[in-house]
Amino acid sequence: MGDAGLHVAEGLIADTRDALAQERDGSADNAYRVLQRQIQTRMTSTEPFELERPRLLTVAFVIGINGAGKTTTIGKLANYYRNQDKRVVVAAADTYRAAAIDQLRIWCQRAGVDLIAQQQGSDPGAVVYDAIRASQESRKADMVLVDTAGRMHTRQNLMRELQKMRKVANRQVHGAPHEVLLVLDATAGQNALEQARQFTAAAGVTGIVVTKLDGSSKGGAIIGIRDTLGVPVRFAGVGEGLDDLLRFDPAAFAAGLFEQA
């Protein structure tokens, strides 16, 4: 029911059985506790989060397919870090989708952060270049969040465009982009694993933001992503409000898998 997938479920059950045999307590209550602990352990991350390492300017790309909640997530991320006294600039590099820039502008106004944008159809790499230059010079920003065009993982031309944008960022700021956050819809089920696999291969995904966890979906597919690709989950979207973005909590996530829908 949590949509973790057959392979993940079998592995969790096997590990839980082994743990129960060692504890010599095979009661149902203990089985649930051990299983929950197994999930929490798998989802716990020890990798450093580059978005929060001190540096002169941090650059993060936010990517994902259309409809996953990417633009909304950028607005929430901008608000999250502005509330931590970070000076945030958002780059409207989704010049492909009609009204994408206007939608992002509304979110930036809500979050109280600056937006760097050009006209629809402009070169996304040029937007990234302008945003980084402005952040280094007139805006004196700590962080640049780059909105990218929503794309299916099968659209190779858009994937190549993403790689070009990475090169533009890297030429201006050492090590940029420092994080590439993939936004995944919790309701996508097992298709989320294939999205993560393709985006990681093409764009070097470093972290996951799982959205729409406020609905009936429990987002179990991200366990398989963590197991298969080793990519940590960094944030969870739990609503439409500006503050409805939480740092991912493995314990809360594991507990949520066993809550009644």
What is the per-residue pLDDT for 260?
56
Provide the token pair at 244.
């409805």
Provide the token pair at 236.
């969870």
- Residue ranges, the chain, pLDDT below 50: 261
Measured CA distances, 30 to 12, 27, 34, 115, 208 (Å) = 15, 5, 6, 51, 31
Cβ atoms of 113 and 83 closer than 8 Å: no
E strand or H helix at 154, and its extent? Answer: none
User: Looking at this protein, which amino acid is placed at residue 187?
Assistant: T
DSSP code, position 214: T
Q: Is 62 helix (H, G, I), strand (E, B) or coil?
A: strand
Residue 253: strand pairing partners: none
CA 115/CA 102 separation, integer angstroms: 11
CA 224/CA 8 separation, integer angstroms: 6
Q: Is 258 helix (H, G, I), strand (E, B) or coil?
A: coil
E strand or H helix at 207, and its extent? Answer: strand 207-211
Sheet holding 245-247, edge to edge: 114-116, 88-93, 143-148, 58-63, 179-185, 207-211, 233-237, 245-247
CA 103/CA 106 separation, integer angstroms: 5
What is the per-residue pLDDT for 261?
46
Provide the token pair at 4.
């973790």
What is the per-residue pLDDT for 169?
97
Hunting for tokens 């790689």 — which residue is that? 163
Burial bucket for residue 63 (CB in 10 Å: 0-12, 13-18, 19+): buried
CA 257/CA 252 separation, integer angstroms: 9
Cβ atoms of 160 and 184 closer than 8 Å: no
CA 248/CA 87 separation, integer angstroms: 23
Q: Which of 130, 148, 142 is nearest to 83 (CA)?
A: 142
Q: What is the pTM (predicted TM-score) of this model?
A: 0.93
